[in-house]
Amino acid sequence: MAAIEKTGDTSKRSREDWQELDARHHLHPFTDHKDLHAKRSRIIARAEGNYIYDVDGNKILDGMSGLWCVSLGYGRESLVQAAAKQMRELPYYNNFFQCAHPPAIELSSILTEISPPQFNRVFFAGSGSESNDTIVRMVRRYWDLMEQPERRVIISRKNAYHGSTVAAATLGGMKPMHEQSVVLPDVVHVDQPYWFGSDRSLSPDEFGIAMARKIEDKILELGAEKIAAFIGEPVQGAGGVIIPPSTYWPEVQRICDEYGILLISDEVITGFGRLGEWFGADYFKTRPDFMTFAKGVTSGYLPLGGVFVSDRVAEVLIDKGGEFYHGYTYSGHPASCAVAIENIRTLQREKLVERVRDDIGPYLQKRWAELTDHPLVGEARMAGLMGAFEIVKEKSPMQRFDEKAGVGSMCRDHLVNNGLIMRAVGDTIIVAPPFTLSESEADEMMEIAWRCLDMTQRDLAA
């Protein structure tokens, strides 16, 4: 390969040049580097509406909203203008040392208007992982100030995803991540409410209660006086869109109330309308003490994360005082906050959360359920605009493929090559399109999904 120009007009680079440069210099997140080096990356060059375009100009429907974040779709000029205006006026200043700036103040106020009533305060971070790290420290600070320092244990769930920093990876329930990390003490994991993945001997409602009681069992095993908090994603996202039975969250809430345990709702994916309500806590009617947010707060146009802190906790921090030694350079970055304000105003103006609840959500849910007619699909589930289907070998009695066969990846590759981004989590194919998805785009999605399932079936027969 010829020498690659590193400067100048990059739009003139060929796909091969981009791929070569990428392979030489760029280590990607969550990647088997040897495997990727043997292949080449797909280079995404631009995006518009609900489609992304690779450098060759191939148009691909973005069924994952980037990484669960681009709720408004691409090419929103008003978000670009909000960032540009803010960057001209005040591109950066911090909120340390008794300073603050208008975008962070304004956004914190707007956030508390759209969140459940117990939230009147917000702490900003740069990402979802940082936000969960913040919570780990704030939970400890709270119980210290409450003079119950022995409350140290946070209960989480197997297969949860709470981010990739050390604390967030510890909170998460992904074993391979634990094996590659330093794992913090005082975090324990209980079973997830994954009915399809169970032996299905219980009804979904019974199973929901049984899985919530796993939390109670753990509390009783360790002693309630040692338990600080429980953390959960309202719907587990990266773990495979695990939608809990409707009995699960009310029982979790009862347990947290009964033992005085803080409830943390990780809303990084479910926040800002993904389930057709502003937050998963609204959808499942829980009353969390903390909510983690990121992703959809800016539709991914700029990085921003944060924590909603309930009055129960914030009032203790404020009344008892003492410095809380924690913060990030980019806590409440002005440009990110300006984009978040415009993003939320757009969601409100265009009634997009209502659209997910009443219009495109129910439409796609109905069409999605049709996939269960395909011989390879054992279950198709969706809440709001967050869904999954399960690829199975046999439907009755249900039998899954051997994990090593990589059937999910096979199907996902067909999907991407046929113009639709969905993600494979083992043999579970997941989807989370932008809220602006049209009915015809939803139909296109379904047509491609069906066709690619057929292709996968043919591969398996060959």
Question: Which C-beta is closer to ligand PXG: that of 162 or that of 414?
Answer: 162
Q: What angle do CA 383, 388, 394 make, to 5 degrees?
A: 130
Q: Does 210 bind ligand PXG (CB under 6 A)?
A: no
Q: At its nearest, how many Å lie between ligand PXG and the CB of residue 282?
A: 16
In angstroms, how far is CA 179 from the centroid of its own chain? 22
CA distances from 33 to 29, 66, 335, 380 (A): 9, 21, 33, 32
CA distances from 9 to 15, 20, 380 (A): 14, 17, 46
What is the torsion angle, in degrees rounded to the nearest 10, for the CA atoms of residue 282, residue 287, residue 290 and residue 294? -10
Total residues in contact with ligand PXG, by rule CB under 6 A: 16
- Give the residue among 327, 299, 263, 337 at the shortest CA–CA distance from 133: 327
Q: At its nearest, how many Å lie between ligand PXG and the CB of residue 93?
A: 23
Q: Which residues between 107 and 166 bind ligand PXG (CB under 6 A)? A: 127-129, 132, 161-163
Q: Does 379 bind ligand PXG (CB under 6 A)?
A: no
Question: Which C-beta is closer to ligand PXG: that of 86 or that of 127?
Answer: 127
CA distances from 137 to 6, 142, 439 (A): 43, 9, 44
Q: Which residues between 32 and 61 bind ligand PXG (CB under 6 A)? A: none
Question: Which C-beta is closer to ligand PXG: that of 30 or that of 97?
Answer: 30
Q: At its nearest, how many Å lie between ligand PXG and the CB of residue 388?
A: 11
Q: Does 197 bind ligand PXG (CB under 6 A)?
A: no
Q: Does 381 bind ligand PXG (CB under 6 A)?
A: no
Q: Does 238 bind ligand PXG (CB under 6 A)?
A: yes
Q: At its nearest, how many Å lie between ligand PXG and the CB of residue 390?
A: 17
Q: Which residues between 252 and 271 bind ligand PXG (CB under 6 A)? A: 266, 268-269
Q: At its nearest, how many Å lie between ligand PXG and the CB of residue 72?
A: 18
Question: Which C-beta is closer to ligand PXG: that of 214 or that of 274?
Answer: 274
Q: Judge contact between 145 and 219, C-beta under 8 A.
A: no
Q: Judge contact between 212 and 193, C-beta under 8 A.
A: yes
Residues 336 and 80: their CA atoms lie apart, in Å, by 11
Q: At its nearest, how many Å lie between ligand PXG and the CB of residue 131?
A: 7
Q: Is the peptide bond before 362 cis (omega within 30 degrees of 0)?
A: no
Q: Which residues between 276 and 305 bind ligand PXG (CB under 6 A)? A: 294, 305
- Give the residue among 137, 155, 171, 145 at the shortest CA–CA distance from 220: 155
Using only C-alpha atoms, the chain has a radius of gyration, in whole angstroms, of 23
Residues 4 and 14: their CA atoms lie apart, in Å, by 10
Residues 387 and 434: their CA atoms lie apart, in Å, by 13
Q: Which residue is nearest to ligand PXG (CB)?
A: 128
DSSP state for residue 149 in the 8-state scheme: T
In 3-state terms, what secondary structure has residue 153? strand
Q: At its nearest, how many Å lie between ligand PXG and the CB of residue 64?
A: 8
In 3-state terms, what secondary structure has residue 64? coil
Residues 94 and 257: their CA atoms lie apart, in Å, by 37
CA distances from 188 to 31, 32, 208, 238 (A): 27, 28, 20, 19
Q: Does 233 bind ligand PXG (CB under 6 A)?
A: yes
Question: Which C-beta is closer to ligand PXG: that of 237 or that of 245?
Answer: 237
Question: Which C-beta is closer to ligand PXG: that of 291 or that of 391?
Answer: 291
Residue from 21, 45, 67, 188 that binds ligand PXG (CB under 6 A)?
67
Question: Which C-beta is closer to ligand PXG: that of 50 or that of 265?
Answer: 265
Q: Does 189 bind ligand PXG (CB under 6 A)?
A: no
Question: Which C-beta is closer to ligand PXG: that of 11 or that of 329?
Answer: 329
Q: At its nearest, how many Å lie between ligand PXG and the CB of residue 462?
A: 29
Site residues (vs ligand PXG, CB under 6 A):
67, 127-129, 132, 161-163, 233, 237-238, 266, 268-269, 294, 305
